[in-house]
Amino acid sequence: MRNLQQKLAIARGEQPAELLFKNARLVNVLSGEIHRTNVAVDDGRVVGFGDYRARRVVDLRGSYLAPSLIDGHFHVESSMLTAPEFARAVVPHGTGAVVIDPHEYANVLGLDGIRYVLESSKKLPLDFFIMLPSCVPATPLETAGARITADDLRLMIGDDRIAGVAELMNFPGVFLGAKSELDKIDAGKHKCVDGHAPGLRGKNLNAYVLAGVRSDHESVEVEEAREKLRLGMHILLREGSTERNLAHLLPLVNAHNVQNCSFATDDKLAGDLVNEGHIDHCVRKAIRLGLPPISALQIASINTARHYRLQNLGAIAPRFWADMIVVDDLKKFSVRQVYKKGVLVAENGEFLGWIPAKIGSPRGTMNLRYQPGDFAIRAVGGKKIKVIVIVPQQIVTRTAIVAPKVEDGEIVADTKRDILKLVVVERHRATGNVGVGFVRGFKLNRGAIGSTVAHDAHNVVVAGTNDADIRFAIQQLERMQGGQVAVANGKVKAALPLPIAGLVSDRPLPEVVRGIADLNLAAHALGCELAAPFMTLSFLSLSPIPALKLTDQGLIDAVKMQRTTLFATA
Amino acid sequence: MRNLQQKLAIARGEQPAELLFKNARLVNVLSGEIHRTNVAVDDGRVVGFGDYRARRVVDLRGSYLAPSLIDGHFHVESSMLTAPEFARAVVPHGTGAVVIDPHEYANVLGLDGIRYVLESSKKLPLDFFIMLPSCVPATPLETAGARITADDLRLMIGDDRIAGVAELMNFPGVFLGAKSELDKIDAGKHKCVDGHAPGLRGKNLNAYVLAGVRSDHESVEVEEAREKLRLGMHILLREGSTERNLAHLLPLVNAHNVQNCSFATDDKLAGDLVNEGHIDHCVRKAIRLGLPPISALQIASINTARHYRLQNLGAIAPRFWADMIVVDDLKKFSVRQVYKKGVLVAENGEFLGWIPAKIGSPRGTMNLRYQPGDFAIRAVGGKKIKVIVIVPQQIVTRTAIVAPKVEDGEIVADTKRDILKLVVVERHRATGNVGVGFVRGFKLNRGAIGSTVAHDAHNVVVAGTNDADIRFAIQQLERMQGGQVAVANGKVKAALPLPIAGLVSDRPLPEVVRGIADLNLAAHALGCELAAPFMTLSFLSLSPIPALKLTDQGLIDAVKMQRTTLFATA
């Protein structure tokens, strides 16, 4: 700490402080109470409570002063924003730090992706701490841009901003004792090791915890979360764009166990962050649902800082960074001012912070190889085909067996029955892998929609009513070096370039928010009725999630976890 | 973790566990509740909750199963027991781990003393974690056996069993920014840094915390403790042999802040440990005073483990060590059984654990040089003298100014007015330093009592009615290589050898308990009415504590922190 001796003199009251927050109602997450005091700040840190002289005084007139909020688990790529633009979105909502898992960057760019995140998230008015992705690729049934092993994790785990090893999504691998997975846990043993175990309970959950996993953010029901909490897992109460578990899980939380809970968003779109909010939304919702405000703010700050060992963050007390928010009403919980290291970085929803010069983007990632004929599927006798059926608002799918529509011996989309062609083209290493299948649920009546965001391998995925538009969509995605696009009759209806890893925009926040909205409008104009058609599209390749998925390796039976044929055997 | 894959198979229920605790009421300090379950244990660790097969079953029939208890701050030398014999005393009371500050060993033996503690506390059914003493010597006004600097701390801080830097007792040095003290804090910055700041409040306390001190165990009043808690200090609720702050501080504790509190004993005599108990006594008392049992047990286990980062200790959950206690009634809180890594190590107060082979004692530490005439004080005209006045049950003293009793031109003890001669002889490096003064409060009517336990430098201290018995007492202490002794008319009335650093007995627990009792009886037979005469004696040299003290360097004005004369100036 530079000038510690000088700061001690300020704390002793012998010299004036830089800044004094007078007449605060301090939300003290350490003593678990709200009390009136003045808070002196110097050189970015809190130096003391009490009656201090200061060169500048902010009279809070009884408003609440609380520690800045912390997100315990977030994939920054889900916002499609760079780290600086993400900061621009969430800092006005009072966020001071995020623990992120750059799982998507890592699937596309490997260690280079993690390094890009580390570099691009420096020197912002928002602290980024990084959990190292542990499941790249997600499964052998999709072709990602990289593979990350325990040795790779060991290379990076020592960095000060690396908080540990991210969610061990291959939970059967862990509880069955697969050496590759236990090695990854071992790599993180001196830091945090996050879990991801939806629905896992009983003995297999015991084994998962015994292996060394110490958190979970996937509980949907309170009894599942209670079992995990009893086993010592830190429980992240998730409230993202689509997965919203907070209200369900809140009955679990009380003053005796609150220290083992954090808030997390996991995945949240740029527009939702701007409009609904970030962790402030979680605090608002929790208080509205009856949680004592002091508990809600502990969950939003100190608990997360302690679990992930974020030094001098998560509370307002001497030596802590002066990361603080001003709130006028704890019930409404609307963040009026946000301070980062004692500097006002947002006020009344407006970002006032600094954004450092842009760093270079990582290498281009669009390496496609395909032939015009690759998307054609010849009909086989009278055989029926398997169709992926979208379940609205969920990432699971169902399977339908239907008689295909056949033209000139080829199976084609049938808009009357809402059956579109779905194509996945490998984009990382030009393998020439192309998967073709059919999907129900988009209700497009013309054109195609495509995306290079396609969990978890992030190949090109396109759903369309005809091969020409599918091809056109792919060409547009190539031209943009990745992105999302809606096309019809050889025309672009809307497009959002995502040139950074094919996942993230290089444009400012408002443009990205508008771009996403335009895409949705365009898809709706093509007949789609889904709330978030591109998000739905992006999950159709996620091979570990039931029931039927399509990757670059073909149709995947995601229950049996193996490739399957398009044609139904029955 | 050896055989992790095999243990996972046991957790999955595919193989029987070593041990199953059936029908437990589990005191779950993680989920903050008490719930019924079975707990499976294998290879020293908890592997899971649930319905497991096991090679051995312990049916608890609804008794409580709680994590073993942890002492957050203790000076093991205060028990006068070696680490193994201390384990024998406290394991039957349910203690599973202690965080110790070997401050006395370090004052006598320096780094060798710390190394001796590390070595002698291994492989016991009680885990010792060590905070590195930060204040050796306590002040320049007494001659200790060693000096420990920040560089010394850096030498040892990396050891797995070193939890951090112990109490920064030189709190003015810290808040005033003395480089030596800030360097010591810096040495501990990646581990814990304990405080010791009796009565410190306001701006100087802010500075003390800002410097990096993160705990305190010296609060006497609840408002002092509240201020410290608000500043982010971990509060150790102390309940030792003499300092008993638990009842006073308990009103501070509630479910919203309990995570920031621990129990500690600081100093506790062997007999008190055996008869009254250890941390179990704190739990009993806290529950009796109205604290919810779950909170009391969190304070006694997980809170301390987390604060001091004791891996896999402080709770019952998979991967945690199977350090557990069985209690039949939470109100009475009498520990029936104690398990260490799944092995029964105490039952119904009886120690059943293992004690490894004795390790070699450290070098002898009695290096005295003095002349027969050193203890004589010639009277100066009609000048009055300053007398140290004992305040019963406290370590502070007062000062009296009295006319001395003079015989043959020399000032002598005056038993009629309860004025004894007090002698301190430096014993570490044969400097020949001898301090002579007078003390009121012992009420000896003949003989002398002496001790080589004499905080913090642990020189020889003797209070006596005549020089012959004082000399005889010193000779006996030399002969025993340190200890405590009561003599009269050239005869030993009681003696407890403390050959390990002059602080600790090499004998088994019962002999030490009896030895201490015999010493007290002997002192009482000589006329003393104090409850713990040798403890009182041992604090008369502690130069940082007001008001008047005697060290090997002479009479100390412990308010002004400087040497003073025996003769009153007035």
The whole-angstrom distance between A166's CA and the closest CA on chain B is 19
Q: Which of B11, B32, B207 sits opposite A256 (nearest CB)?
A: B32
Return the axis-axis angle of helices A202-210 and A222-230, rounded to nearest 10°. 40
CB contact under 8 A, A230 and B257: no
Sequence-separated contacts (24+) of A225-230 with Cβ below 8 Å: A225/A249, A225/A252, A226/A252, A226/B31, A227/A201, A228/A197, A229/A257, A229/A260, A229/B30, A229/B31, A230/B28, A230/B30, A230/B31, A230/B33, A230/B35, A230/B49, A230/B317
Q: How far apart are CA B458 and CA B260, in angstroms?
A: 34
Q: How many CA atoms lie within 13 A of B490 on its CB side?
A: 1
The whole-angstrom distance between A152's CA and the closest CA on chain B is 22
Query: What are the chain A neighbours of B295 within 8 Å (beta carbons)?
Result: 256
Q: Which of B175, B232, B260 sits opposite A8 (nearest CB)?
A: B175
Q: Which helix (DSSP H) or strand (DSSP E) does residue B166 occupy?
A: strand B162-168
pLDDT in tens, B529-569: 999 999 999 999 999 889 999 999 999 999 999 999 999 98
**Which candidate, A294, A388, A380, places its Cα nearest to that of A333?**
A294
pLDDT in tens, A113-144: 999 999 999 999 999 999 999 999 999 999 99
CB contact under 8 A, A31 and B204: no
* Location of structure tokens 């501990």: B188
Query: Is the pLDDT reported for residue B458 higher than 70?
Result: yes
Query: What are the chain B neighbours of A207 within 8 Å (beta carbons)?
Result: 8, 11-12, 47-48, 318
- Which residue of B182, B183, B193, B231 to mutate against A (max A Cβ within 10 Å)? B231
Q: What is the 3-state secondary structure (H, E, C) of A294-322?
A: HHHHHHCCHHHHHHCCCCCCCCCCCCCEC
Neighbours of B269 (CB within 10 A): 23
Give the per-residue pLDDT at B2: 62
CB contact under 8 A, A206 and B33: no
Spans of chain A below 50 pLDDT: none
CB contact under 8 A, A255 and B259: no
CB contact under 8 A, B30 and A202: no
Choice between A244 and B20, residue whose per-residue pLDDT is larger: B20
The whole-angstrom distance between B13's CA and the closest CA on chain A is 7
Neighbours of A25 (CB within 10 A): 18
Looking at residue A159, its amino acid is D
Size of interface A-B (CB pairs under 8 A): 176
What pTM does this model have? 0.96
Contact A30, B257 (CB under 8 A): yes
The whole-angstrom distance between B253's CA and the closest CA on chain A is 9
- Which residue of A38, A259, A260, A307 to mutate against B (max B Cβ within 10 Å)? A259
Neighbours of A31 (CB within 10 A): 26
**Which candidate, B347, B330, B348, places its Cα nearest to that of B26?**
B330
CB contact under 8 A, B203 and A259: no
Q: How far apart are CA B486 and CA B537, in angstroms?
A: 12
Looking at residue B267, its amino acid is D
Average pLDDT of chain B? 97
Task: Calculate mean pLDDT across residues B507-519.
Answer: 97
Give the per-residue pLDDT at B404: 97
The whole-angstrom distance between B344's CA and the closest CA on chain A is 22
Per-residue confidence at B393, pLDDT binned at 50, 70, 90? confident
Question: Nearest residue of A to residue B5 by CA position?
Answer: A177
Question: Nearest residue of B to residue A37 by CA position?
Answer: B230
CB contact under 8 A, A319 and B209: yes
Give the per-residue pLDDT at B499: 98
CB contact under 8 A, A30 and B257: yes
Distance of CA A524 to the CA centre of its chain: 25
Looking at residue B113, its amino acid is G
CB contact under 8 A, B210 and A28: no
Give the per-residue pLDDT at A570: 60
Q: What is the DSSP string of B434-466?
A: EEEEEEES---SSSEEEES--TTTT-EEEEESS
The whole-angstrom distance between B243's CA and the closest CA on chain A is 24
% of chain B residues with pLDDT over 70: 99
CB contact under 8 A, A12 and B204: yes
Q: How far apart are CA A76 and CA A328, in angstroms?
A: 29
Q: Which helix (DSSP H) or strand (DSSP E) does residue A107 occupy?
A: helix A103-109
Give the per-residue pLDDT at B570: 60
- Which residue of B175, B256, B301 to mutate against A (max A Cβ within 10 Å)? B256
* ipTM of this complex prediction, to 2 decimal places: 0.95
Evaluate the omega torsion of the peptide bond into residue A456 and state whether it is cis, within 30 degrees of 0.
yes
Query: What are the chain A neighbours of B229 within 8 Å (beta carbons)?
Result: 30-31
The whole-angstrom distance between B333's CA and the closest CA on chain A is 20
Query: What are the CA-CA distances from residue A284 to residues A192, A263, A348, B179 (Å)?
Result: 28, 12, 16, 46
Query: What are the chain A neighbours of B47 within 8 Å (beta carbons)?
Result: 206-207, 210
CB contact under 8 A, A318 and B206: yes
Task: Calculate mean pLDDT across residues B438-445.
Answer: 98
Return the axis-axis angle of helices A202-210 and B4-11, rounded to nearest 10°. 160
Query: What are the chain A neighbours of B27 within 8 Å (beta carbons)?
Result: none
Return the axis-axis angle of helices A509-525 and A83-90, rounded to nearest 10°. 90
The whole-angstrom distance between A35's CA and the closest CA on chain B is 9
The whole-angstrom distance between B155's CA and the closest CA on chain A is 21
Question: Nearest residue of B to residue A2 by CA position?
Answer: B211
Give the per-residue pLDDT at B395: 85
**Which candidate, B342, B325, B305, B255, places its Cα nearest to that of B33?**
B255
Q: Which of A9, A30, A259 sits opposite B230 (nearest CB)?
A: A30
CB contact under 8 A, B318 and A177: no
Query: What are the chain B neighbours of A5 within 8 Å (beta carbons)?
Result: 177, 182
* Location of structure tokens 């990854």: A184
Query: What are the chain A neighbours of B321 within 8 Å (beta carbons)?
Result: none
Q: Which helix (DSSP H) or strand (DSSP E) does residue B337 occupy?
A: strand B335-340
Task: Calculate mean pLDDT across residues B244-252.
Answer: 95
What tokens were used for A549?
């998925």
Question: Nearest residue of A to residue B177 by CA position?
Answer: A5
Question: Nearest residue of A to residue B212 by CA position?
Answer: A319
CB contact under 8 A, B31 and A182: no
Evaluate the omega torsion of the peptide bond into residue A9 and state whether it is cis, within 30 degrees of 0.
no
The whole-angstrom distance between B177's CA and the closest CA on chain A is 5
Pairing of strands A45-49, A33-42: antiparallel
pLDDT in tens, B283-331: 999 999 999 999 999 999 999 999 999 999 999 999 999 999 999 999 9
Angle subtended at Cα A430 by Cα A427 and Cα A432, rounded to the nearest 5 degrees: 95
Task: Calculate mean pLDDT across residues B130-156.
Answer: 96
pLDDT in tens, B30-69: 999 999 999 999 999 999 999 999 999 999 999 999 999 9
Query: What are the chain B neighbours of A50 within 8 Å (beta carbons)?
Result: 202-203, 206
Query: Is the pLDDT reported for residue B1 higher than 70?
Result: no
Query: What are the chain A neighbours of B231 within 8 Å (beta carbons)?
Result: 30, 49, 317-318
CB contact under 8 A, A318 and B50: no
* Location of structure tokens 């009415």: B529
Q: Which of A32, A210, A226 sits opposite B7 (nearest CB)?
A: A210
**Which candidate, A296, A209, A308, A303, places its Cα nearest to that of A250?**
A296
Pairing of strands A261-264, A234-238: parallel
CB contact under 8 A, A177 and B5: yes
Q: What is the DSSP string of B95-149?
A: EEEEEE--HHHHHHHTHHHHHHHHHHTSSSSSEEEEEEP--SSS-TTS--S----
Per-residue confidence at B411, pLDDT binned at 50, 70, 90? very high
